[in-house]
């Protein structure tokens, strides 16, 4: 019998099944996503309190293991864990034994041996979190971004932010504009939005769209039917309810993918002129960090339609809900499997 106190007043309307890992959203059911978003409302309420701390995860150990730079994801996981009273330990590749050549699996087994309940990992190699999930018997894994592949917690906070403003996402048009090729956010957003019934348009230069998408095969042949691609930003943004702008990932570009930044901005930048084509009341989002003046104009990034700072706030709440869900299971019972 668990003695763990539930988050006070948290409205958990639907019980979700226990999970040990969150690797991507492609295996999430709509019911799981809805339950997590409901749980997140309760976490937002905790964040708004004067004393932003509850004892819910006292005695649990959460480790962040980041092999790539991060501000939002790493800090929000740390803040989420601390607000729920978990012990949070941050490890970055720099300064760890990874610098002496220790393998990723050995590092993770070492942290498991220290009784980490959860490891939150960001890695430049797609699939790194899956590898750890296969090798660890007791410790859960959350994918905080792996290569170009997935960033499920970003997608969940994006869904939550859209839902707060729009209610249902069913039938909404969401244009995701920018460097789709290198974007793990676009891939996870695509799966989450498709599960929630939104219609997604992925838009960017032909060289920055994944070839399998451009040629209609879909990722691994399992591309959701309500996702399309378009290389024309004006057309993609027309009548959109939400415009999600993606960072031009200059650190992942190989030569020849772009004519020039000037040309890119001219044709794909989300700016005020282009936004006039969207629905009145369009919501503008960006996962961050931004290249202002490249993929998004400064006036749009900080304008009335922008939800970019709210995305950051909601990122803390969604990560609180995820930690709670993974570490306590249904109705606050500790998950041991
Ligand atoms: N959106 C996002 O993943 O930001 P960070 O790289 O700052 O974590």
With 0-12 / 13-18 / 19 or more C-beta atoms within 10 angstroms meaning exposed / middle / buried, residue 15 is exposed
Please, which residues have CB within 8 angstroms of residue 1's CB and are 6 or more apart in sequence? none
User: Average pLDDT, stretch 50-55?
Assistant: 97
At 90, phi and psi to the nearest 5? -105, 130
Residue range(s) of every CATH 3.40.50.1370 domain in the chain: 11-151+312-336, 152-311
* pLDDT exceeds 60 at position 10: no
CA dist., res. 61 & res. 276, Å (int): 48
CATH entry, 152-311, from 1.10.630.10, 1.10.730.10, 3.40.50.1370, 3.40.50.300: 3.40.50.1370
Quickly state the pLDDT bin for 152 (edges 50, 70, 90): very high
Quickly state the pLDDT bin for 211 (edges 50, 70, 90): confident
Quickly state the pLDDT bin for 80 (edges 50, 70, 90): very high
The strand order across the sheet containing 140-146 reads: 87-92, 61-66, 118-123, 140-146
In ligand 1, the atom with minimum distance to the C-alpha of 151 is: 3
The 3-state DSSP composition of the chain as helix, strand, coil percent (nearest 5) reads 40, 15, 45
pLDDT at 252: 59
Quickly state the pLDDT bin for 251 (edges 50, 70, 90): low
Contact 129 CB / ligand 1 (< 6 Å): no
Ligand 1: which of 65, 72, 291 to mutate, judged by most atoms within 8 Å of the beta carbon? 72
Contact 287 CB / ligand 1 (< 6 Å): yes
Alpha carbon of 17 to ligand 1 centroid (Å): 28
pLDDT at 50: 97
* pLDDT exceeds 90 at position 314: yes
In ligand 1, the atom with minimum distance to the C-alpha of 74 is: 8
pLDDT at 286: 98
Tokens of residue 303, six digits: 């304008």
Contact 72 CB / ligand 1 (< 6 Å): yes
pLDDT at 18: 80
CA dist., res. 85 & res. 82, Å (int): 5
pLDDT at 2: 37
Q: Does 11-151+312-336 carry CATH code 3.40.50.80? A: no
CA dist., res. 6 & res. 4, Å (int): 6
Residues 291-306 pLDDT 10s: 999 999 999 999 999 9
CA dist., res. 134 & res. 118, Å (int): 14
Residues 269-280 pLDDT 10s: 999 999 999 999
Alpha carbon of 47 to ligand 1 centroid (Å): 20
Kindly report whether the global pTM for this prediction surpasses the value 0.95: no
Query: What DSSP assignment string belongs to 280-299?
Result: TT-EEE--S---BTTTB-HH
Quickly state the pLDDT bin for 4 (edges 50, 70, 90): very low
Closest CA to 106 of 130, 69, 136, 63: 136
User: Average pLDDT, stretch 209-223?
Assistant: 69
Least confidently predicted of 39-43, 57-61, 110-114, 249-253 = 249-253
Query: What DSSP assignment string belongs to 230-296?
Result: ES-HHHHHTT-SEEEE----GGGPPTTS-S-HHHHHHHH-B-HHHHTTSPTT-EEE--S---BTTTB
CA dist., res. 26 & res. 16, Å (int): 16
Residues 155-191 pLDDT 10s: 999 999 999 999 999 999 999 999 999 999 999 999 9
pLDDT at 260: 84
- Select the more confidently predicted residue: 318 or 260: 318
Output the average pLDDT for the chain: 90
CA dist., res. 79 & res. 85, Å (int): 10
Alpha carbon of 2 to ligand 1 centroid (Å): 34
pLDDT at 7: 46
Quickly state the pLDDT bin for 322 (edges 50, 70, 90): very high
CA dist., res. 169 & res. 91, Å (int): 37
Dihedral sign for Cα 289, 310, 147, 61, please. Answer: positive
Q: What percent of the chain has pLDDT over 70?
A: 89
């Amino acid at each position: 019998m668990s003695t763990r106190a539930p988050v006070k007043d948290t409205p958990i309307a639907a019980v979700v099944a226990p999970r040990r890992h969150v690797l991507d959203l492609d295996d999430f059911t709509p019911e799981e996503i809805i339950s997590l978003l409901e749980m997140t409302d309760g976490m937002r309420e905790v964040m708004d309190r004067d004393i932003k701390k509850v004892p819910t995860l006292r005695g649990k150990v959460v480790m962040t293991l980041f092999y790539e730079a991060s501000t939002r994801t790493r800090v929000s996981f740390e803040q989420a864990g601390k607000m729920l009273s978990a012990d949070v330990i941050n490890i970055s590749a720099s300064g760890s034994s990874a610098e002496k050549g220790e393998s990723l699996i050995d590092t993770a087994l070492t942290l498991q041996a220290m009784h980490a309940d959860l490891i939150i990992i960001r890695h430049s190699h797609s699939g790194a979190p899956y590898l750890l999930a296969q090798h660890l018997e007791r410790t859960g894994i959350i994918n905080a971004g792996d290569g170009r592949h997935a960033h499920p917690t970003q997608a969940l906070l994006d869904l939550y932010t859209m839902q707060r403003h729009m209610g249902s996402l069913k039938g909404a048009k969401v244009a995701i504009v920018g460097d789709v090729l290198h974007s793990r956010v676009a891939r996870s957003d695509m799966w989450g939005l498709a599960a929630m019934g939104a219609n997604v348009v992925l838009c960017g230069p032909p060289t920055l769209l994944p070839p399998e998408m451009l040629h209609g095969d879909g990722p691994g042949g399992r591309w959701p039917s309500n996702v399309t691609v378009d290389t024309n930003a004006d057309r993609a943004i027309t009548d959109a309810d939400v415009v999600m702008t993606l960072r031009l990932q200059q650190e992942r570009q190989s030569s020849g993918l772009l004519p020039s930044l000037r040309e890119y901005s001219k044709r794909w930048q989300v700016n005020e002129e282009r936004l006039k084509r969207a629905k009145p009341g369009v919501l503008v989002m960006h996962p961050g960090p931004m290249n202002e003046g490249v993929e998004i104009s400064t006036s749009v990034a900080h304008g009335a339609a922008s939800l970019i700072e709210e995305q950051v706030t909601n990122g803390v709440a969604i990560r609180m809900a995820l930690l709670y869900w993974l570490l306590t299971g249904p109705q606050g019972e500790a998950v041991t499997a």
